[in-house]
Amino acid sequence: MSEPSPSAPPMEEVRSPLSDGEWHRMHPLTPLLRGGLFLLVVIGIVVANLRERLVALFIPDFSDEGEVPGDPVDYVLSNNLLLVAGLALLGTLVVLTVIFWVSWRFHTFRITGDDVEVRTGVFFRTHRRAPLDRVQGVNLTRPLVARLFGMAKLEVIGAGLDSNVKLEYLSTSNSETIRADILRLASGRRLGEASAAEGAVDAGSRVHQAANLVSAGITGIIEGEDLEAAEVESVVHIPAGRLAASRVLSTSTLGLLAFLAVVIVGAVIGEPWVLFAFVPALLGFGAYWVRSFVRSLRYSIAPTSGGVRITFGLFTTVSEILPPGRVHAVEVRQSLMWRPFGWWSIAVNRISGRAMTDAGTDQLTSVLPVGTRADVERVVRLLLPALPEDQLALVFEQGILGPAPGDPYATTPRRARVFRPLSWRRNGFLLTPDALFLRRGFIWRALGVFPLARMQSIRISQGPVDRALRVANLTANVVSGTVTTTVGVVDRDDALRAFEDAAQGIVAASAGDRTHRWAR
């Protein structure tokens, strides 16, 4: 029996044989899936050049009589080059096979007790490493083609810009088990157990500790399967009809209709520049609308031992586990058109680990596309487990639906309501020992919740008019995202008191925060 690698994680912490600290290769079909775009381009060129012959072969009634000028197949047949063409095709396939094989041989990964590492490249080598104590989440993505082959890819989200590590591709079963291993290793469980063991040395005997270890081992044998990777039922169910209606009653739909109206008017009055200018934008807007709808289908959100599992997507399925302590801001939103139906959406600010140019950087900011009040309350409890139960009223009764009698929020004073003529009673903030609440909007309601343990700092700013009216702007400095982090035109004295209290509250909340060790 071979000795385990010195960098191997503890055996009791992992379930997959690929999480043993040794270098392993990806699935053998990985080069084919990663080079899928190149193959599609080649197939498109072939089809474009042989389209007349393909039409004559499959639909002879629609083909033109006679020989197609410049047809490559006719040229090969007429010049008796069939053998040469076959050898050239065979050589191309051999070269592609060798390239794919070499790419697969040099594409390896390993999972140690401290890092997830990936090495790629033949001539230009790349070695990426994601420290486990910096892991912000793990995404499991199953594109449509990969799903047909029973494969998926993992994306380990790091804490820096363009710091993610991708394991593409693995079998679906291996992907799910490895993801559970990574989350278990990143949970801080080992640090907590080591600390507890040190305390137990003084409090108990060595015999008692050995008995605990034997008991834990027997329990692991009896439990057998990895329960953390098991499917968990979603706490929210979004009917397809509600999702479609919410997209129709959205601002993006209004923009799409406006573009369409401009194009129709331009076509009627005979202005060609309107068509050239707006038709591409209309197509892009329409594609975005359809993609946002399809991406929200099959949505689910559920609690697991590793964090909150969020799954969505019809063709390309994305499943992310968002560990506790990785949510830096939560915002509940409601537009005017959704108000009669009682619908809300939820967005978060979190570290994506991707480059700013990555098209998928904001795909996981929306954690609830549309939901009822009961849905929102369940999701808020999942995303903010440290928020006391008595503060949930601050989210709905006083936050989204407020102001209510006894409103605890500090709002815009009457002397400055000209800058918030509709929302001056709603526009405000509230600081508690656990979080900062920012409430704003009358037509488009929104409430931002910022856990103090995740905030970097708090800022007050004033302009000349603000100073004259004795008001200020309050900003919570957290990681960037779609959540609005500023509330403006609040009383200056209230903002100053919040500034002082928040500075102390952030230090106290950060010192007492243990959400990075969620496995405990």
Among candidate residues 230, 225, 136, the one with its CA nearest the CA of residue 176: 230
Percent of the chain with pLDDT over 90: 26
Topology adopted by domain 11-26+107-229: PH-domain like (2.30.29)
Residue 223: pLDDT band with limits 50, 70, 90: very low
* Global confidence as pTM: 0.77
Is omega for the bond preceding 403 within 30 degrees of 0, making it cis? yes
Helices (H), 411-491: 464-469
Token output for 381: 């409890």
Assess whether pLDDT exceeds 60 at residue 315. yes
Q: What percent of the chain lies above the pLDDT cut of 70?
A: 75
C-beta separation of 8 from 188 below 8 A: no
The whole-number average pLDDT for the span 12-20 is 84
The reported pLDDT for the residue numbered 269 is 73
* Confidence at 257, pLDDT banded by 50, 70, 90: confident
Task: Indicate the domain borders of the chain.
Answer: 11-26+107-229, 36-105, 239-298, 324-517
The residue type found at 305 is: S
pLDDT at 54 over 80: no
Backbone φ, ψ for residue 156 (5° rounding): -85, 115
Higher pLDDT, 140 or 5: 140
> pLDDT tens digits, residue range 369-416?
999 999 999 999 899 888 888 787 788 888 888 888 889 999 999 999
Extract the runs of DSSP E, i.e. beta strands, from 61-171. Answer: 108-111, 115-120, 126-131, 137-142, 151-157, 165-171
| Tally: H helices and E strands in the chain | 15, 20
Classify the C-alpha dihedral 501-504-508-510 as positive or negative. positive
Helix (H, G, I), strand (E, B) or coil at 456: coil
